[in-house]
Amino acid sequence: MYAPDKQQPAADAAGRRPTRVAVVLVSPGLGGTERRLASLTRYLRHTDDKQLAFVINDELLGLLERVGLTIECESVVLRSWFGPASAPAERLLSLASRAMRKMRTVANHLLLSAQLGLVLARLRPDVIQLVMPSALLMFVPYLLWNRAALVVSLVGELGFLPSMSVMARWALRLNLGRADMVDALSAELRDLAVVEHLVPAERIRVQDSFVECDKFVPASEKVRSVVFAARLIPDKNPLLFLEAVPELIRVLGSDVRCFLFGAGPLERAVRSKIAELGIGSYVTTGFQANIGDVLSRSMVFCSLQGRENYPSRSLLEAMACGNAIVATDVGMTHKLVDCRTGIRVPATSKAIADAVIQLLDDPEHALELGRAARELVVREFSPERYRARLMNVYDDALRARDTGQYDAG
């Protein structure tokens, strides 16, 4: 299904048409990468020499719409074989054997891959950007004969490389081997890709991330609250955050407000942990369509990832909203969180609770850290900077395809 962009750039006076770019964003869930790229379309659609089309699956499009995000450029929607399942169907599926669930996933995967191949053949793009986990789609025959420059975007999922299936790893290696340029979210991902011999260093560009500081702004008055917002998966450590809450209540009193927002495989474990700790009346949970409304009024944000907090989308949004940060001291977190913007801690409930208590007990200091955090993201993580780097990646990929030469990144 097409949703044409009425502001598509036309050919210039010399008759040169704009570079056609197909951004492939196919994912079963909604995370920072998906939200970031959907937000970026506000800026991509106005480029002078690039004509972009987003190829997206219907499940992801529905999730984006649920949080108020739309694709603001030409889009093509891939239809799932099964579509959104009804509640009874989901219950039956949960009772099905692992083999049956796997067959369902593979069937849907193959259907999406076939649709994607047909769509790309129809769009005839000059550049194809595959965003993880779209890069795992099995449409290698199309890529082998297609002459489009290929950009593969690596995001956090590469950290799970050791646990990927043999077929998924094979597909990833094939796509990376065909790639003219690789767009890595962080230097850590770049280094991992090089160490794993997935792609040479000269073909990788580090992009970082961005935040829309015009949408994420501090409220005029802050409340005594702490927020955790992330996908509910083990690496994000939502249960660790909950384990710190009883100490917060004991020291700060029952008026402190705690929020845990997100969805994912650990939802049931989160509910069980809240009941086990007896903190149900102190913690607000669930899905928050507009997280900016809460972040703008909160004072402290916790980013507790196990491997890397940099450059987390939720973390950048919290900083833009003027939150002081408590973050696990892992990876390159220090590039965002230092003594000027927050506190880095080891991944223990006591260390997290102590840091949050320190900040909420001294609101003036917390507000000062929050102001510095916003200044940092406004200066270093604007959409315009990210857009300019991405346009350069497309140009580098075209140059590499035509000349076989790779400039230093």
Sheet holding 74-78, edge to edge: 74-78, 50-57, 19-25, 127-131, 149-154, 181-184, 204-206
Alpha-carbon gap, residue 401 to 187, rounded angstroms = 24
Residue 5 lies in a domain: no
Alpha-carbon gap, residue 68 to 273, rounded angstroms = 30
Number of domains present in the structure of the chain: 2
Residue 296 lies in a domain: yes
Residue 345: name the closest of 360, 358, 363, 361 by CA.
Answer: 358
Alpha-carbon gap, residue 244 to 251, rounded angstroms = 11
Indicate if 38 and 64 belong to the same structural domain: yes
Alpha-carbon gap, residue 230 to 296, rounded angstroms = 17
Indicate if 153 and 285 belong to the same structural domain: no
Indicate if 36 and 81 belong to the same structural domain: yes
The CATH code of the domain that includes 312 is 3.40.50.2000
Q: Quick one: pLDDT at residue 5?
A: 43
For 79-132, strand residue ranges (E) read 127-131
Residue 298 lies in a domain: yes
Indicate if 52 and 163 belong to the same structural domain: yes
Q: Quick one: pLDDT at residue 287?
A: 80
The DSSP element (H or E) to which 152 belongs, if any, is strand 149-154
Residue 252 lies in a domain: yes
Q: Quick one: pLDDT at residue 170?
A: 77
Residue 218 lies in a domain: no
Q: Quick one: pLDDT at residue 125?
A: 92
Alpha-carbon gap, residue 337 to 324, rounded angstroms = 9
Indicate if 370 and 389 belong to the same structural domain: no
Q: Quick one: pLDDT at residue 269?
A: 96
Indicate if 268 and 202 belong to the same structural domain: no
Residue 238 lies in a domain: yes
Six-digit token pair at 154? 């690596």
Burial of 195 (0-12, 13-18, 19+ CB in 10 A): exposed
Alpha-carbon gap, residue 320 to 377, rounded angstroms = 6
* Phi and psi angles of residue 276, each rounded to the nearest 5 degrees, phi first: -60, -40
The tens place of each residue's pLDDT in the chain, 409 residues long, gives 444 444 444 555 445 678 999 999 988 888 888 888 999 888 876 556 888 899 999 989 998 998 888 898 889 999 876 554 444 555 555 556 667 666 777 777 778 888 888 888 888 899 999 887 766 665 545 555 568 899 999 886 555 566 666 767 777 787 888 889 999 888 888 888 888 888 899 999 998 889 999 999 999 999 999 999 998 999 999 999 999 999 999 999 988 999 999 988 999 999 999 999 999 999 999 888 789 999 999 999 999 999 889 989 999 999 999 999 999 999 889 999 999 999 999 999 999 999 999 999 999 999 999 999 999 999 999 998 899 899 999 999 999 988 877 665 5
Residue 230 lies in a domain: yes
Indicate if 148 and 177 belong to the same structural domain: yes
Indicate if 369 and 391 belong to the same structural domain: no
Alpha-carbon gap, residue 327 to 336, rounded angstroms = 10
Alpha-carbon gap, residue 249 to 98, rounded angstroms = 42
* Phi and psi angles of residue 251, each rounded to the nearest 5 degrees, phi first: -85, -45
Q: Quick one: pLDDT at residue 8?
A: 46
Indicate if 128 and 147 belong to the same structural domain: yes
Residue 109 lies in a domain: yes
Helices (H), 133-263: 140-145, 166-178, 187-195, 238-252
Indicate if 44 and 169 belong to the same structural domain: yes
Q: How many other CB atoms are found less than 10 A from the CB of residue 233?
A: 16
> Domain of 286?
225-380
Indicate if 48 and 83 belong to the same structural domain: yes
Per the rule left: phi > 0, alpha: psi between -120 and 50, beta: everything else, 253 is left
Q: How many other CB atoms are found less than 10 A from the CB of residue 168?
A: 18
Indicate if 271 and 163 belong to the same structural domain: no
pTM of the model: 0.82
Alpha-carbon gap, residue 78 to 303, rounded angstroms = 33
Q: Quick one: pLDDT at residue 3?
A: 45
The DSSP element (H or E) to which 357 belongs, if any, is helix 349-360
